[in-house]
Amino acid sequence: MTGALIAIGILLCLLVLGVPMIAALLTAVALLLYLSGQWGLSLPQTMVAGMSSYTLLALPLFVYAGSLMNSGGIAVRLFDFARSLIGWTKGGLAQVDVLTSIFFGGMVGSSAADLAGTGSVMIPAMKRHGYSGALASAVTASSSGVGPLIPPSSPAILYSAVTGTSLSALFLAGLIPGLLLGLVFMLTIAWLARRHGYPTYGRFSLREVWKTGLAAAFALGMPGLIIGGLVVGAFTPSEAGAFGAFYAAFVSCAIYRTLNLKGLYRATVAAVQMTGELLGIVALSVALGSALSAAHVPQAFTGLIDLLTIGDSVFMRLLAMMIIAVIAGMFIDPLIPVLVPVLMPALLAYGIDLTHFGVLMIMAVVIGQITPPVAMSLIITARIAKVDQWQVFRANMPFFIITLAFTLVLIAVPGLSTWLPAYMQD
């Protein structure tokens, strides 16, 4: 146990100091294995085993689809369509930011890909129309948190690989919470716009909606085809990823003609680099989780949860787990493969629905991405807007509070995440 605490402490220190995630994880895993006397072939064996899940095959395919969509200039078409729909409302451009993230989340399924596609479009546009750089960054960072909930979701793929939970069920479980979170953000922006006088952005025109809708139709068709195919059983999640990558390439190259061979090559290289980084993090995270399990850390966590829990209600136990997950997510970016194996004994002992908990873990990831000291979404948007990260965090406070409150609602009302998968299975 002492070795585990030392390894975790060093991991957190390295992450706070800005050491790359892979290097920090490798250091922590190597130290823990050395202190526990398990040094040797156990590290590479565990890493290879961690990447041998069939479910993980969907990850590089969806990453590639997202990279093709980004390189193909899809974000601009989605932005124009969202602008024509709600840009005329108070705080219209901020509303457009959220709606664009909802559209984009249905294609790429991760905050980083969402920010890469929409951040460079939305933040400069909001600054040109009178929004402060900090507020524009805050809205973009928070709205990108909708993406990991809406299928296809990269965190859901990781969670499915770690727990063995049905990936199709996880995709469906995140759909309603993702749409609701986006709606709550839009209502929050409407309230703030009335208080602070945020500007409108253009006038409503059915002709413009029709024009931009036609231009974005093929892009918007991707999430519908993927989700619909999964629901009716036309293909597995991995096949859906392959279809998504082919569809993105076909739309960008043959229909929109915004992606040539050079752009296709750059998109492929970017996807390979991102996939390599993600799978490296997954492999090391699984190795860390295995080493922590060998050090009896899961049993210690179960005792900690019992200590934090008042009574035997599922709500209180889930709340205790989410407190641990949110605090861990503030420091550890690959939260799911590191923490979930440690919490699995407690989840099984308490009879907690793994699909419901998967959605909660995705929310913990989302909260971690907008909470210092790591706060990757805030850092990315602050760099785009060229403002201080802490200014962005202060501007993001209303959305941060809303995200926490929404997570509490999900804990209290599990049907928001479990109803749709159960309905589709009947």
- C-alpha span between 109 and 122 (Å, rounded): 18
CB 401 within 8 A of CB 188: no
**What is the DSSP secondary structure assignment for residue 151, as one 8-state letter?**
S
Res. 221 pLDDT band, cuts 50 70 90: confident
Res. 384 pLDDT band, cuts 50 70 90: confident
CB 50 within 8 A of CB 278: no
Q: What is the mean pLDDT of the chain?
A: 83
Tell me which residue has tokens 């990108």: 144
Decide: helix, strand or coil at residue 87.
Answer: coil
CB 324 within 8 A of CB 301: yes
Read off the pTM: 0.87
Compute the average pLDDT of residues 265-269. 88
Q: Report which listed range, 44-53, 62-71, 179-188, 257-266, is most confident.
A: 179-188
Two tokens, residue 396: 């993001």
Flag whether pLDDT at 103 surpasses 70: yes
Note whether residue 15 is domain-resident.
no
Burial of 322 (0-12, 13-18, 19+ CB in 10 A): buried
Note whether residue 371 is domain-resident.
yes
Decide: helix, strand or coil at residue 203.
Answer: coil
Res. 39 pLDDT band, cuts 50 70 90: low
Note whether residue 333 is domain-resident.
yes
Note whether residue 341 is domain-resident.
yes
Task: State the total domains in the chain.
Answer: 1
Q: What is the pLDDT of residue 245?
A: 86
CB 95 within 8 A of CB 186: yes
The number of CA neighbours under 13 Å toward the Cβ of 102 is 20
Note whether residue 12 is domain-resident.
no
Q: Domain residues for 148?
A: 55-425
Q: Report which listed range, 207-216, 306-315, 401-410, is most confident.
A: 401-410
Best CA proximity match to 80, nearest among 179, 234, 205, 229: 205
Side chain identity at residue 20, one-letter code: P
What are the pLDDT digits (tens) for 414-423? 999 999 888 8
Largest CA distance in the chain: 70
Residues 6+ apart with CB under 8 A from 258: 72, 73, 252
Note whether residue 49 is domain-resident.
no
Flag whether pLDDT at 182 surpasses 70: yes
Note whether residue 34 is domain-resident.
no
Q: How far is CA 426 from CA 171, 206, 227, 392, 421, in A?
A: 17, 39, 17, 45, 9
Note whether residue 373 is domain-resident.
yes
Flag whether pLDDT at 22 surpasses 90: no
Decide: helix, strand or coil at residue 38.
Answer: coil
What are the pLDDT digits (tens) for 116-155? 777 777 888 888 888 888 888 899 889 888 888 988 888 8
Compute the average pLDDT of residues 331-349. 81
